[in-house]
């Protein structure tokens, strides 16, 4: 991957030309070889695809009034992309985004959008290594309200020098209101003390499927 100042002879570029792709991250502009999309084949990927197809069909079966409500919601609430730019997404995008989280909890799909996209999830989530057991634990400031959930992702044991989020940091558990205020995520036996890092990222989801911003934390487990 090459870092560049004037990709494609411009002051800034994002996209692909020929076999090269220009993009940007926190380190600045860079160029890489264009990657061709690969059809997902694993069982988890196939399940995710079928779930998205199901939600798309649900959306198409909504009434005209309901679809207009989702499109109005989308026009009023743009999102911020990874580059910090404000972009508008479709009513279908919002429908799938909110209802995929509800489906994961076994809740019925919402046929109308909420008043706004701001999550009402207000619990404080902490992740730390327990001083006596050595396990990595999730602590909550209070019990989750019914319908709320925490989507928790974490990585495999990584080198301590790891900075950027790795592909092994993936969704492991979705915790609903039955989770205890102190819950073990990884046992001490599953760690590599004093030599590794484990990356965590999580969101809090409220009963309407609205999510908090992604929170991240790196834990460097030590020997007990």
Please spell the DSSP secondary structure of 1-70, one letter per residue. Answer: -EE-SSGGGSSS--EEETTEEEEEETTEEEEEEPPPP----SHHHHHHHHHHHHHHHHHHTS-HHHHHHH
- Kindly report the average pLDDT of the chain as a whole number: 88
- Checking if the pLDDT of 183 tops 90, the result is yes
CATH topology of domain 125-219: Immunoglobulin-like (2.60.40)
Reading the block at residue 209, the tokens are: 């499927």
pLDDT of residue 1: 47
pLDDT, one tens digit per residue, over 26-42 is 566 666 776 666 665 67
pLDDT at 57 over 70: yes
pLDDT > 90: percent of the chain: 70
Task: Dump pLDDT digits (tens) for 145-157.
Answer: 999 999 999 999 9
pLDDT in tens, 67-122: 999 999 999 999 887 777 888 899 999 999 999 999 998 999 999 999 999 999 99
Torsional class of 84: left (φ above 0), alpha (ψ -120 to 50), beta (otherwise):
left
pTM of the model: 0.76
Length of the chain: 224
d(CA 195, CA 188): 13
Rounded Cα distance, 107 and 118, in Å:
19
Q: Where in the chain is the domain with CATH 2.60.40.10?
A: 125-219
Mean pLDDT for the stretch of residues 197-215: 97
């Amino acid at each position: 991957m090459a870092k560049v100042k004037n990709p494609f002879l411009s002051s800034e570029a994002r996209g692909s030309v020929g076999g090269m792709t220009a993009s940007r991250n926190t380190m600045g502009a860079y160029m890489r070889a264009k990657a061709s999309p690969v059809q997902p084949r694993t069982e988890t990927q196939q399940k995710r695809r079928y779930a998205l197809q199901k939600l798309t069909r649900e959306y198409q079966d909504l009434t005209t009034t309901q679809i207009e409500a989702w499109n109005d919601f989308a026009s009023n609430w743009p999102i911020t992309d990874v580059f910090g730019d404000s972009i508008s997404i479709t009513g279908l995008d919002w429908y799938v985004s909110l209802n995929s989280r509800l489906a994961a909890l076994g809740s019925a799909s919402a046929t109308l959008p909420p008043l706004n996209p701001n999550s009402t999830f207000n619990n404080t989530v902490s992740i730390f290594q327990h001083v006596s057991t050595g396990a990595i634990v999730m602590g909550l400031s209070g019990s989750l309200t019914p319908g709320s959930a925490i989507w928790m992702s974490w990585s495999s044991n990584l080198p301590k020098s790891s900075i950027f989020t790795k592909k092994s940091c993936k969704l492991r558990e979705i915790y609903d209101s039955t989770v205890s205020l102190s819950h073990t995520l990884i046992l001490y036996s599953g760690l590599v003390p004093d030599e590794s890092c484990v990356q965590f990222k999580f969101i809090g989801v409220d009963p309407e499927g609205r999510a908090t911003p992604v929170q991240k934390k790196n834990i460097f487990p030590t020997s007990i």
